[in-house]
Structure 1
Amino acid sequence: MLTRVRAAAGDGWASPYLKRLIWPLAVLVLLIVVNVAITGFDFLVPGVQDGRLNGAFVNILRRSAPLLVIALGMTLVIATKGIDLSVGAVYAIGAAIACQWISGPNENALGTVLIAVAAALAVAAVIGAWNGTMVAAFGIQPIVATLILMIAGRGIAQLITGGQIPDVNDTSPFVELGRGAILTIPVPIVIAAAVLAAFAVLTRRTALGLLLESVGGNPEASRLAGIRAKGITILVYLVCGLCAGLAGIIGAANLGSADANNGGLWIELDAILAVVIGGTALIGGRFFLLGTTIGVVIIGTLEVTIINVGLSSQWQFTAKAIVVLAVALLQSPEFRAFTLQPFRRRTPAAAVQEAAK
């Protein structure tokens, strides 16, 4: 039974669904080649500095870790034909709670840090569950339900911090979540990899992935089949909120502060872009965690590429739009058939059909 579930969920490298990863990978390789041509192989080859891996590509992965954590949660939401526009605000709320709780006389105490992180994650999970309840229980459109918290969330974060930017001492264990290393690997990369591995196991080694795709593909049929679609919808929004809070903690730990106004600003758009680049359709159904990961790395590499080729930062949004358009067109069978049609050799049957028109 489990084998059939995994096959239906698109598990395994031989799956035809994973062929959609070819074009995102090709775009990523192209960006890497461009950077290597400009900066040399030092772009890819990491070094060790202060007991931590360092280098251009490693820094891209480290800076992209919060986005990857959010994008993975967003992938599950989109798989159920939903969307979460509030993740940037939840990012700011999680960072605000953690830093506001830690900043004080006991900020170097490990217990204080653990309680602050747990509180931030708990609030983020509650916000995610609220979004899911609004969508599943009350039938509010996902874009409307999450837009409410997208607007109000930063105001909540400002209320938590009192309109200030709370700072955390560099000696606090909290900053290790953003600047530390485990066996020379930056902690943000370790956390993002752990979240990816956990999601992969839960969605591809259990029936959860099939249930998510069933709810996203046809909610009514799923309900009639006995699947608790409402419960699954609430669960994925809860997980997405939890991921946003975790990303906010990582970002705040790296900076040593929480900016309610600018923390995680527009990160929801980058998360959606990464999911789309990775081959997951916004109409729900099939989803690709590995594709989302590739999409996140493409976005991070693209931002560095813009600087390396000498373009101004104003090109960033335009370049992202161009990359998304290119990958979407390359992934479209209709577009490939249209562009390759002049180069294809007509069969006798096709010639007969064309002559009969």
Structure 2
Amino acid sequence: MTILKNRLFWPAAILVVLLVINAFTSNQFVTVRDGHLFGSLIDILRGSAPLVLVALGMTLVIATGGIDLSVGSVMAISGAVACLLISDLGNQNSVGSVLLIMLVAIGVSLLAGLWNGTLVAIIGIQPIIATLILMVAGRGIAQLITDGQIINVQSGPYATIATGFFLALPVAFLIAVAAVVLITLLTRRTALGLLLESVGGSPTASRLAGIRAKRITVMVYVVSGGFAGLAGLIYSANIKSADSIAAGNLIELDAILAVVIGGTALIGGRFSIAGTVLGAVLIQALGVTVVAIGVPSDATLLFKAVVVVALCLSQSPEFRAKVFGRFKPKPVVRAEATA
């Protein structure tokens, strides 16, 4: 069947299975309380927001043939800057001041992305090495900002981006939706998507065709840094503090996995925004389901790894052909009649 050959069919099928398991194992899958939606489904949507944002930026970077290992550290820097400045406010509930501080934190994240893009596109360092530099140094920068301490804040407006609701839906989820819509419009309704695929498919050919590959490469790293900074704000607002060590820890691996599950080629070129979002939500749903079914915490990572391996194998046409092909009836060879 044609639908079974679609790369997004198996991730979508596994996500549906996970949601069904949550519906039967959780006390409240979806419920309305004080005019807002609550339950395990809402927890999955809200919890997946930072990963969706990071994975969106990672998709654009990978589409150009690069990689960004620094997104977790950029999250830590963004949260550290925001919480430090908010803690110094005389009135932490001042909406205008908090919004300005959030813009400053995102601006710092954009500069971090610009640093990565400059190293990769202008200086010519391999993306994995260039972003590894900030991955390591970024944690140190975040700890310098917080003086090695966990900075706690009690700001209602700041907490709203992580725990607030708008039109009965979590604000964090709506922020992620807005980002997805924006990137989809830019990459599928303009020539930007084609340019990204051209640069990732063949940088030399795209340069000869007059495409400014270096400028596009710098741009995607800047966007990746901005989305990582926004994800860092949501993370720190959720815990109401800046934890430079835990913020964004290993999220770059989940983001790469979400991109791969969604069908984006790691070698660059073809990419799928819808697939990336599906992969990010699936990873979050898997984490929630593991807790819901009572898997011991020390076996959680192993359980997730087994499920991910099974998913990747199910997406492989070669694997399906080898496993299921042997069950197909062999064609009957009829002997031609002799004269």
Q: Do they superpose with TM above 0.5? A: yes
User: For residues 57-136 of structure 1, what are the structure 2 equivalents within 5 Å?
Assistant: 57-104=41-88, 105-136=90-121
Picking from 133, 139, 142, the partner of 1:148 is: 133
Quote the Cα distance in structure 2 between the aligned partners of 1:186 and 1:214: 37
SS in 2 for 1:20: coil
The CA deviation at 1:343 is 2.4
Quote the Cα distance in structure 2 between the aligned partners of 1:224 and 1:141: 21
1:266 aligns with 2:228: no
SS in 2 for 1:33: helix
State the partner residue of 1:23: 10
State the partner residue of 2:161: 177
Quote the Cα distance in structure 2 between the aligned partners of 1:68 and 1:152: 24
Picking from 303, 306, 318, the partner of 2:290 is: 306
1:143-170 CA distances to partner (integer Å, 9 max, x unpaired)? 1100111111011011111222222214
The CA deviation at 1:284 is 1.1
SS in 1 for 2:249: coil
1:236 aligns with 2:220: yes
RMSD of aligned C-alpha atoms?
2.1
SS in 1 for 2:151: coil
The CA deviation at 1:347 is 4.9
1:294-319 CA distances to partner (integer Å, 9 max, x unpaired)? 11111111112112222112222222
1:321 aligns with 2:308: no
Picking from 122, 125, 128, the partner of 1:137 is: 122
Instruction: Indicate conservation of the 8 Å contact 2:26/2:40, yes or no.
Output: no
Percent of residue pairs bearing the same amino acid type: 56
Larger deviation, residues 339-348 vs 74-83? 339-348
Instruction: Indicate conservation of the 8 Å contact 2:3/2:9, yes or no.
Output: no
Tell me the matched-pair count.
333
- Structure 1 pair 18–70 and aligned structure 2 pair: CA distance change class (3 A): farther
Quote the Cα distance in structure 2 between the aligned partners of 1:96 and 1:164: 10
TM-score (norm 1): 0.88
Quote the Cα distance in structure 1 between the aligned partners of 2:323 and 2:19: 26
1:35 aligns with 2:22: yes
The CA deviation at 1:250 is 0.9
SS in 2 for 1:53: strand
SS in 1 for 2:152: coil
Instruction: Indicate conservation of the 8 Å contact 1:90/1:241, yes or no.
Output: yes
Quote the Cα distance in structure 2 between the aligned partners of 1:188 and 1:83: 25
Instruction: Indicate conservation of the 8 Å contact 1:88/1:266, yes or no.
Output: yes
SS in 2 for 1:284: coil
The CA deviation at 1:34 is 2.5
- Structure 1 pair 16–51 and aligned structure 2 pair: CA distance change class (3 A): closer
What amino acid maps onto 1:210 in structure 2? Answer: L
Q: Structure 1 regions of 5+ residues with no counterpart?
A: 1-14, 353-357
TM-score (norm 2): 0.93
Picking from 170, 173, 181, the partner of 1:186 is: 170
Instruction: Indicate conservation of the 8 Å contact 1:158/1:260, yes or no.
Output: yes
The CA deviation at 1:346 is 4.1
Instruction: Indicate conservation of the 8 Å contact 1:276/1:324, yes or no.
Output: no
What amino acid maps onto 2:124 in structure 1? Answer: G
Quote the Cα distance in structure 2 between the aligned partners of 1:114 and 1:17: 46
State the partner residue of 2:240: 256
Larger deviation, residues 280-289 vs 323-332? 323-332
1:162 aligns with 2:147: yes
Quote the Cα distance in structure 2 between the aligned partners of 1:281 and 1:318: 25
- Structure 1 pair 200–16 and aligned structure 2 pair: CA distance change class (3 A): farther
1:201-220 CA distances to partner (integer Å, 9 max, x unpaired)? 11111111111111111111
State the partner residue of 1:12: none
The CA deviation at 1:25 is 0.5
What amino acid maps onto 1:153 in structure 2? Answer: G
Quote the Cα distance in structure 1 between the aligned partners of 2:53 and 2:189: 20
The CA deviation at 1:49 is 2.4
State the partner residue of 1:278: 262
SS in 2 for 1:48: strand
Q: Structure 2 regions of 5+ residues with no counterpart?
A: none
Quote the Cα distance in structure 1 between the aligned partners of 2:304 and 2:206: 36
Picking from 188, 198, 218, the partner of 1:204 is: 188
What amino acid maps onto 1:95 in structure 2? Answer: G
